[in-house]
């Protein structure tokens, strides 16, 4: 089939395009793993990117996590009060936050903040030929730009998730203390009585996968940007939309797998 | 204008080069020789494949067919490691400078150096940076960000970044594009200084006839994907060929 004749396709234009993109993504991820274990390692850039992903997301994560904890507690109280079961509030919040809300809230915030940033930054570097400049000076741009960013999101997002869980629980405790005057010790004992190691492990595993996804999608979209400044905007947008879409699919799949081991 | 010694070994030999993008045939059978120590100017209208040509030479693009031999090596057949070794001998000055905008001037210059010459001490790296900055006349801009530089200064830093690895071949993509006439003259002089000081062979892609006249030992005219005429500046433009004449007239009016 001639590539010159744009009307000829193996199956159809859409299906051909899907398989081309799929093979491109597989080779992109394959290259990431190949480069990860090759010297030289870009430690300085990895630390810098970890700072960008982790430290610079703290303010937003703190606010969102805290409000999530407060709002969830407030919304759950009336339903539990109907059965006289307000004392279950800490356990309920802990189960919701640690098992589900913290990984998802962290991932979605980072998809928006970090994913779009990576997509826009690499996209801009692509259209201004900065990536080509690295390549012609025999510096591996993939290793320097992609491996460090994916590494940073994969390492930092699980940590941010744990921080989100902590801040959400503090928000929840504040609301419970103001209403029920529960002691902190009772709150913690009650909250963690229903949480198992597998719950923590499940959330950390999901956050690692989400972090990898956000980094990989942002880098892929940015690295393959075409079409000038408009292309940069599209890359940033596509990085967020694709990451969120994949995060929800991964959430369902990983939960199914982990529930199998319960 | 320097006289080219064609007995000198060719730094670049291109034969029968074809490159298309979809249905757009950009290069249609290009033959080219770049001799050691010469500045070769490739002239042509926008979209005739001038930039594509130097991107193929540096291995950024792959040709559809034809051979590209750079410093005795066939670029298309090189493995990644061999290509990177060859690239250390090629300096590429981009049209828009392509400075890393998240780094200072000093970090831009150190970036390729510390990755390729790992044995250098910090003092030696600083010395190498000072040497190339001095060569382009911007020693005082070391701590500035690219966004704080003018267009001409960015071009100079872009050239300095390629010089820091001491290349044997320089590829200039539209070195005077977007610059005022005075800054263009300074860049043209810098290109000539680089040739003498660093003993480079250069391909200069441009559609600026002043740049071609000042910097070119030899000029090659690229039209519709093929070289239609080459020689000294005067030889190329002493012609009855309407296409070449119209190019000259257009530049003259400009």
Task: Assess A34–B contact: CB distance below 8 Å, yes or no.
Answer: no
Contact A206, A231 (CB under 8 A): no
Q: Give the three-class secondary structure for A96.
A: helix
Residue A94 above 60 pLDDT? Answer: yes
Average pLDDT, rounded, for chain B? 90
Query: What pLDDT shows up at residue B249?
Result: 67
Q: What's the mean pLDDT in B152-165?
A: 94
Task: Give the number of other CB atoms < 10 A from CB of residue B9.
Answer: 11
Rounded to whole angstroms, the Cα distance separating A71 from A77 reads 10
Contact B12, B201 (CB under 8 A): yes
Rounded to whole angstroms, the Cα distance separating B53 from B84 reads 18
Query: What pLDDT shows up at residue B6?
Result: 55
Does residue A238 or residue B1 have the better pLDDT? Answer: A238
Distance from CA of B63 to the nearest CA of A (A): 15
Instruction: Encode pLDDT of B109-126 as tens digits.
Output: 999 999 998 899 999 999
Contacts of residue B79, defined as CB under 8 A and 6 or more positions apart, other chains included, come to: none
State which residue of chain B sits closest to A130, comparing Cα positions.
B98
What is the complex's ipTM, to 2 decimals? 0.90
Query: What pLDDT shows up at residue B48?
Result: 87
Interchain CB distance below 8 Å, A133 and B90: no
Residue A96 above 50 pLDDT? Answer: yes
Residues of chain A with Cβ-Cβ distance to B95 below 8 Å are 129
CA within 13 Å, CB half, A2 = 6
Of A128, A138, A139, which has the smallest distance from its Cβ to B98's Cβ? A128
Go through chain A and tell me how many residues it has.
Answer: 262
Query: What pLDDT shows up at residue A3?
Result: 44
Rounded to whole angstroms, the Cα distance separating A149 from A220 reads 11
Show the DSSP H helices in chain A as ranges. 13-36, 43-53, 58-82, 89-96, 102-110, 116-127, 130-136, 141, 148-180, 184-192, 197-223, 228-261
- Under 8 Å CB pairs connecting chains A and B tally to 59
Phi, psi of A159 (to 5 degrees): -70, -40
Residue A187 above 60 pLDDT? Answer: yes
Q: What's the mean pLDDT in B41-60?
A: 92
Residues of chain B with Cβ-Cβ distance to A132 below 8 Å are 55, 60, 92, 94, 98
The DSSP secondary-structure symbol of B217 reads S
Contact A147, A35 (CB under 8 A): yes
For chain B, give percent helix, strand, coil, nearest 5. Answer: 40, 25, 35
Residue B242 above 80 pLDDT? Answer: no
What whole-number percentage of chain B has pLDDT above 90? 75
Does residue A80 or residue B8 have the better pLDDT? Answer: A80
Instruction: Encode pLDDT of B91-112 as tens digits.
Output: 999 999 999 999 999 999 999 9
State which residue of chain A sits closest to B115, comparing Cα positions.
A139
Does residue B248 or residue B11 have the better pLDDT? Answer: B11
User: Among candidates A158, A185, A146, which has minimal Cα distance to A27?
Assistant: A146
Query: What pLDDT shows up at residue A12?
Result: 83
Residue A4 above 80 pLDDT? Answer: no
Rounded to whole angstroms, the Cα distance separating B32 from A1 reads 33
Residue B8 above 80 pLDDT? Answer: no
Query: What pLDDT shows up at residue A260?
Result: 84
Average pLDDT, rounded, for chain A? 93
What whole-number percentage of chain B has pLDDT above 70? 94
CA within 13 Å, CB half, A198 = 9
Rounded to whole angstroms, the Cα distance separating A164 from A162 reads 5
């Amino acid at each position: 089939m001639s590539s010159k004749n744009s009307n000829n396709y193996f199956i159809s234009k859409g299906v051909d395009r899907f398989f081309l993109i799929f093979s491109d993504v597989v080779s992109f991820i394959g290259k990431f793993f190949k480069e990860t274990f090759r010297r030289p390692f870009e430690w300085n850039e990895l630390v810098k990117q970890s700072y960008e992903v982790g430290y610079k997301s703290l303010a937003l994560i703190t606010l969102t996590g805290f409000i999530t904890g407060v709002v969830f507690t407030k919304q759950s109280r009336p339903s539990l009060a109907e059965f006289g079961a307000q004392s279950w509030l800490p356990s309920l919040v802990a189960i919701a936050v640690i098992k589900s809300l913290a990984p998802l809230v962290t991932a979605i915030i980072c998809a928006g903040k970090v994913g779009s940033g990576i997509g826009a930054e690499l996209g801009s570097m692509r259209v201004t030929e900065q990536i080509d400049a690295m390549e012609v000076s025999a510096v591996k741009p993939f290793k320097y730009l992609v491996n460090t960013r994916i590494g940073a999101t994969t390492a930092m997002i699980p940590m941010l998730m744990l921080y989100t869980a902590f801040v959400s629980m503090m928000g929840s405790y504040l609301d419970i203390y103001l209403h029920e005057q529960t002691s902190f010790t009772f709150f913690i004992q009650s909250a963690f009585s229903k949480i198992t190691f597998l719950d923590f492990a499940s959330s950390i595993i999901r956050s690692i996968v989400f972090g990898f996804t956000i980094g990989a999608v942002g880098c892929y979209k940015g690295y393959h940007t075409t079409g000038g400044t408009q292309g940069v905007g599209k890359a940033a947008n596509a990085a967020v939309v694709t990451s969120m879409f994949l995060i929800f699919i991964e959430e369902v799949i990983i939960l199914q797998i982990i529930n199998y081991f319960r | 204008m320097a006289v080219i010694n064609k007995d000198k070994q060719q730094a670049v030999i291109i034969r029968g080069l074809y490159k298309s993008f979809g249905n757009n045939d950009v290069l249609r059978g290009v033959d080219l020789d770049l001799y050691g120590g010469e500045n070769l100017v490739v002239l042509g209208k926008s979209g005739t494949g001038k930039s594509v040509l130097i991107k193929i030479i540096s291995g950024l693009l792959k040709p559809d067919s034809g051979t590209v031999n750079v410093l005795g090596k066939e670029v298309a057949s090189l493995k990644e490691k061999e290509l990177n070794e060859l690239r250390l001998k090629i300096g590429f000055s981009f049209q828009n400078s392509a400075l890393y905008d998240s780094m200072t001037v000093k970090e831009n210059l150190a970036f390729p150096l510390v990755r390729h010459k790992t044995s250098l001490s910090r003092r030696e790296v600083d010395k190498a940076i000072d040497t190339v900055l001095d060569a382009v006349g911007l020693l005082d801009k070391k701590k500035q960000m690219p966004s704080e530089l003018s267009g001409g200064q960015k071009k100079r830093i872009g050239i300095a970044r390629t010089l820091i690895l001491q290349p044997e071949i320089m590829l200039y993509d539209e070195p005077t594009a977007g610059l005022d006439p005075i800054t263009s003259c300074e860049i043209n002089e810098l290109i000539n200084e680089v040739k003498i000081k660093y003993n480079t062979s250069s391909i200069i892609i441009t559609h600026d006839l002043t740049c071609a006249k000042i910097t070119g030992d030899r000029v090659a005219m690229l039209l519709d994907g093929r070289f239609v005429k080459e020689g000294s500046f005067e030889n190329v433009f002493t012609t009855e060929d309407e296409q070449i004449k119209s190019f000259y007239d257009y530049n003259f009016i400009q």
